[in-house]
Amino acid sequence: MSEHITTVAGVAVDTRHWIGGERVASAATFTDVSPIDGSVLGEIARGTAAEAAAAVAAAREAFPAWAATPREERARILHAIADGVERRLEELAVVETADNGALLRSHRRGVMPRVAHNFRFFADWLLRLDHEDFDTRGHTNHVSWDPAGPCVLITPWNAPLMLATWKVAPALAAGDTVVLKPAEWSPLTASLLADIAAEAGLPAGVLNVVQGYGSEIGDALTSNPDVRRISFTGSVPTARHIAASAAANLTPLSLELGGKSPLLVFADADLDLAVDLAVEQYDNAGQVCLAATRILVEETVAEEFTRRFVDRASDLRQGDPRDEATDIGPTIHPRQLEKIDGFVQRAVAAGARAVIGGHRRDGRYFAPTLLTDVAQDSEIVQEEVFGPVLTLQTFGDEDEAVRLANDTRFGLAATLATGDPERARRVTGQLVAGTVWVNCFFVRDLQAPFGGSRHSGVGREGGTWSFDFYCDLKNTVTSPKGWKDHG
């Protein structure tokens, strides 16, 4: 077997880049380690500006033919990729779990089926994409979605293949070509996706995958003048860096960033439902951008809510993510664990009280934590922790609830637990958030716009909004005059 192939949970994964339909090695490599037990999963190609340039050049070369490929054919190939994902679902699930430590049962039943759905959804949406012609003083306006060109797609480690394909699928459907750069902590399933796309008949150069450290390869991607779109999911500091890098070429950006979302629990809520919603925020060990990490509870029910929450949370099982019984897996990386611990220790030093958790467990885990006695302007309430750490504050009335909910620099999502539909409408109207869930959480439909306000992002993707971003929209105005008879 090639020195460039690593075997992860019995699955062979190529550790090189995928550029122009070929595997390409780099002079250097970086070590990919499993969050489950620290074992080495592989030595991954450590890309540089040279590989970034080669990948963009390949995407540029492949662009005209892919853009000219009829929609129906593009859609057929996207469905073939979805077939490949479904065929290799178990392999993708076990590799992703080994690589990022999220629950195997979630990967099997939720995440990987959703990866396939990403391709099917945007393939089907492409075929329905249309805008009715309209008339201006007898002239016809026709709107078309023209492919934009090579796109750079940069994704994080918390849901690697799901977040990558949520960008790759619409970009390919739109007729664009792609350079995908996954996070260095979770590089493996992007490599498998390259294999699956090639097997599905995607022409060489239409999808390229490059591996490497953030800036080391990233700057050469985001500053390349041949890149027509950059879609990024990740942290605010990196987004700022990318925006500056893209500025010279005015490359359009879609930025999906962090959050510090609230869960508002009103006294009229079904309290058991509210507790379920709160406990759900520990999913993926809290490494979820949308997580409602600030629980805001109406004073009159705060004590009862907290009692029931502690009861429910104490049932959660933390451990090996491959075990079906596990609810919370490890933190992705020792550096992330340090970060989480730092946030919690500083909060406690500032007067917060850990109702549950507040400490590490067994090296790789952070215990599910609920902190009270936190000030609105404190770091723990204002900054994204990206770990299983929730804060609990109380409010006296609806106005105060809305004020606290909106009082961070983020605006990604908000969740409401209330028994009163009128209140739900009133409060929703005042919240700054890209998504609001009422008496539910994480119900995501690909046809809905998705993104954040304020520092949670720029732009929206999903359904037609994805095509708006990945296409150059063109309006053609045709006069009724001037036609010659070619009959």
Point out the catalytic residue in the list 289, 298, 384, 461.
Answer: 289
Nearest-approach distance from CB 125 to ligand NDP, in angstroms: 19
**Per-position b or e across 412-444, b if 16+ CB within 10 A of its CB:** bbbbbbbeeeebbeebeeebbbbbbbbbebbee
Residue 215 structure tokens: 């800036």
Element (H, E) at 91: helix 89-100
Sole binder of ligand NDP in the list 195, 219, 379, 400 (CB under 6 A): 219
Nearest-approach distance from CB 339 to ligand NDP, in angstroms: 9
Q: Is 450 helix (H, G, I), strand (E, B) or coil?
A: strand
Residue whose CB is less far from ligand NDP, 103 or 154: 154
Q: Is 442 in the site for ligand NDP (CB under 6 A)?
A: no
Residue whose CB is less far from ligand NDP, 76 or 454: 454
* Residues in contact with 115: Cβ distance below 8 Å, sequence separation at least 6, in sequence order: 85, 92, 161, 162, 165
Q: Is 101 in the site for ligand NDP (CB under 6 A)?
A: no
Identify residues 355-394 at the interface with ligand NDP (CB under 6 A). Answer: 384, 386
DSSP string, 153-188: EE--SSSHHHHHHHHHHHHHHHT-EEEEE--TTS-H
Nearest-approach distance from CB 366 to ligand NDP, in angstroms: 16
Sole binder of ligand NDP in the list 8, 289, 381, 431 (CB under 6 A): 289
Interface region with ligand NDP, contact rule CB under 6 A, candidates 7-15, 34-42, 178-186, 395-403: 178-186
Cα(41)–Cα(157) distance, integer angstroms: 15
Residue whose CB is less far from ligand NDP, 344 or 412: 412
Rg (CA), the chain: 24
Residue nearest to ligand NDP (CB): 218
Nearest-approach distance from CB 343 to ligand NDP, in angstroms: 13
Cα dihedral sign for 283, 289, 295, 296?
negative
Residue type (1 letter), 108: R
Nearest-approach distance from CB 479 to ligand NDP, in angstroms: 44
Identify residues 125-164 at the interface with ligand NDP (CB under 6 A). Answer: 154-158, 163
Residue whose CB is less far from ligand NDP, 141 or 382: 382
Residue whose CB is less far from ligand NDP, 373 or 468: 468
DSSP 8-state code for residue 487: -
DSSP 8-state code for residue 202: P
Sole binder of ligand NDP in the list 233, 251, 408, 464 (CB under 6 A): 233
Cα(34)–Cα(47) distance, integer angstroms: 21
Interface region with ligand NDP, contact rule CB under 6 A, candidates 33-41, 211-219, 297-305, 307-315: 211-219
Identify residues 406-435 at the interface with ligand NDP (CB under 6 A). Answer: 412
**Residue ranges in 268-368 assigned as alpha helix (H):** 271-279, 299-313, 334-349
Point out the catalytic residue in the list 256, 298, 384, 461.
Answer: 256
Nearest-approach distance from CB 437 to ligand NDP, in angstroms: 15
Sole binder of ligand NDP in the list 20, 61, 76, 213 (CB under 6 A): 213
Sole binder of ligand NDP in the list 103, 112, 242, 380 (CB under 6 A): 242
Q: Is 183 in the site for ligand NDP (CB under 6 A)?
A: yes
Residue 61 known to be catalytic: no
Nearest-approach distance from CB 116 to ligand NDP, in angstroms: 19
Distances (CA, A) of 264 to 361, 371, 419: 29, 16, 12
What is the separation of C-alpha 122 from the centre of its chain, rounded to a whole number of angstroms? 16
Matching residue, tokens 């945007």: 122
Sole binder of ligand NDP in the list 222, 281, 331, 391 (CB under 6 A): 222
Q: Is 140 helix (H, G, I), strand (E, B) or coil?
A: strand
Residue 440 known to be catalytic: no
Residue whose CB is less far from ligand NDP, 198 or 227: 227
Identify whether the C-beta of residue 341 lies closer than 8 Å to the C-beta of residue 366: yes
* Residue 210: Cβ within 10 Å count: 29
Residue 246 structure tokens: 């893209």
Phi and psi at 46, nearest 5°, equal -105, 95
DSSP 8-state code for residue 132: -
Identify whether the C-beta of residue 417 lies closer than 8 Å to the C-beta of residue 269: yes
Residue 51 structure tokens: 């590989």
Distances (CA, A) of 184 to 100, 214, 330: 11, 8, 17
Nearest-approach distance from CB 238 to ligand NDP, in angstroms: 3
For ligand NDP, how many residues bind (rule: CB under 6 A)? 32
Instruction: Give contact residues for ligand NDP (rule: CB under 6 A).
Output: 154-158, 163, 181, 183-185, 213-215, 218-219, 222, 233-235, 238, 241-242, 256-259, 289, 384, 386, 412, 452, 457
Catalytic residues: 256, 289
